[in-house]
């Protein structure tokens, strides 16, 4: 069967306003870190809709937070583009992670599951070494795992939460990238998941927004350091995307009901809609892109 014969409805011309579910959505509180299987409607990560074209043939990729949300969509897309993929996730996310592992293996690619908590520098170093050993190298790093917990007031934001948000969103990408660069050669790519919050912070995401601004600065500064080595560093800055990060405390439940409604497209983005962006930045098709921040906000700052 040719590639053209395999194209799904997602690749046909259609109205982006109605392409995916629109609010209102039911309230659906979950305990952090949340599960894709408990979301209503369930997010589309490309499980049935993403078609690959061989743009990452035989590349070796490590994705943090690869069990769900944007990381899951990137993992599926990378495998279907021909890459071997290692994913990192919290031990409590094992069920979702194993779903991703099966999808990667279904493409005939090597899949590596590495559970652990990236707030530990020791684990971050072990994570990279394990991925390199089991994949046989490292060409692509996606720093995607993140923590987001909404609080109405600075007085509700504890030092414990503030510290954990920075450990997950800022320290971990630093530790992981530092370890990964020792194994990366010319043609390699690092992709950081930032956020629209980097530029237009919400009042309820005081700590999270600061960390996402850090991700942008880290991306641009690091790009300047490693360009002479032929390594590219970019960031993706999503707006409101339908992931467990939101329903497990990332947004108040009243915002979940109307999530994405203030964008020009009147709905949240689905993780699969970001997958091609990560593929572009990881592949040679993005060879002239470094130090860039690629936005995907539905046409409008959502908060």
Q: What is the pLDDT of residues 256-297, one digit of tens each?
A: 999 999 999 999 999 999 999 999 999 999 999 999 999 999
pLDDT at 7: 54
pLDDT tier at 2, thresholds 50, 70, 90:
very low
Distance CA 121, CA 42 (A): 33
pLDDT tier at 4, thresholds 50, 70, 90:
very low
* Alpha carbon distance, N-terminus to C-terminus of the chain: 45
Catalytic residues: 208
138 has pLDDT over 90? yes
CB-CB neighbours of 130 under 10 Å: 17
pLDDT at 5: 52
- Distances from the Cα of 299 to the Cα of 69, 121, 130, angstroms: 20, 37, 39
Distance CA 134, CA 235 (A): 26
pLDDT at 36: 85
pLDDT at 157: 97
Residues 144-195 have pLDDT tens digits of 999 999 999 999 999 999 999 999 999 999 999 999 999 999 999 999 999 9
Contact 29, 247 (CB under 8 A): yes
231 has pLDDT over 80? yes
Report pTM.
0.94
Average pLDDT over residues 16-34: 90
pLDDT at 8: 67
Strand order in the sheet with 111-115: 111-115, 84-89, 60-64, 140-143, 189-193, 232-238, 293-296
Residue 232 CB-half CA count within 13 A: 21
Contact 200, 193 (CB under 8 A): no
pLDDT at 1: 43
pLDDT tier at 32, thresholds 50, 70, 90:
confident
- Return all residues near 221 (Cβ < 8 A) that are at least 6 apart: none
Distance CA 113, CA 162 (A): 28
Residues 41-91 have pLDDT tens digits of 999 999 999 999 999 999 999 999 999 999 999 999 999 999 999 999 999
Instruction: Name all domains of the chain by residue range, CATH numbers in brackets.
Output: 53-296 (3.40.50.720)
Give percent of the chain with pLDDT exceeding 70: 96
249 has pLDDT over 80? no
pLDDT at 10: 77
In our burial notation (b when 16+ CB lie closer than 10 A, e otherwise), range 262-286 reads bbebbbbbbbbbbbbbbbbbbbeeb
């Amino acid at each position: 069967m040719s590639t053209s014969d395999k194209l799904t409805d997602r690749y046909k011309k259609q109205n982006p306003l109605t392409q995916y579910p629109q609010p209102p959505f039911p309230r659906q509180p979950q305990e952090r870190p949340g599960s894709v299987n408990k979301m209503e409607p369930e997010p589309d990560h490309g499980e049935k809709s993403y078609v690959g074209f061989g743009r990452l043939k035989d590349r070796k990729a490590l994705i943090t937070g690869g069990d769900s949300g944007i990381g899951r969509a990137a993992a599926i897309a990378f495998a279907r583009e021909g890459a071997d993929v290692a994913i990192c996730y919290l031990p409590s996310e094992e069920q979702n992670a194993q779903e991703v592992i099966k999808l990667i293996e279904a493409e005939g690619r090597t899949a590596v599951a590495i559970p652990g908590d990236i707030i530990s520098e020791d684990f971050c170093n072990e994570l990279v070494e394990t991925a390199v050993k089991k994949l046989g190298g490292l060409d692509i790093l996606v720093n995607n795992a993140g923590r987001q917990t909404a609080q109405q007031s600075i007085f509700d934001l504890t030092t414990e939460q503030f510290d954990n948000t920075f450990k997950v969103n800022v320290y971990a990408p630093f530790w992981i990238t530092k370890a990964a660069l020792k194994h990366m050669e010319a043609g390699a790519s690092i992709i950081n998941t930032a956020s629209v919050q980097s530029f237009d912070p919400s009042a309820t995401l005081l700590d999270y927004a600061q960390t996402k601004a850090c991700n942008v600065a880290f991306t641009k500064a690091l790009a300047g350091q490693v360009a002479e080595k032929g390594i590219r560093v970019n960031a993706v800055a999503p707006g409101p995307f339908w992931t467990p990060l939101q329903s497990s405390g990332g947004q108040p439940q009243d915002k979940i009901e109307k999530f994405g409604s203030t964008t020009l497209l009147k709905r949240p983005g689905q993780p699969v809609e970001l997958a091609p962006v990560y593929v572009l930045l990881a592949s040679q098709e993005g060879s002239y892109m470094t130090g860039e921040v690629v936005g995907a906000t539905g046409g409008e700052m959502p908060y």
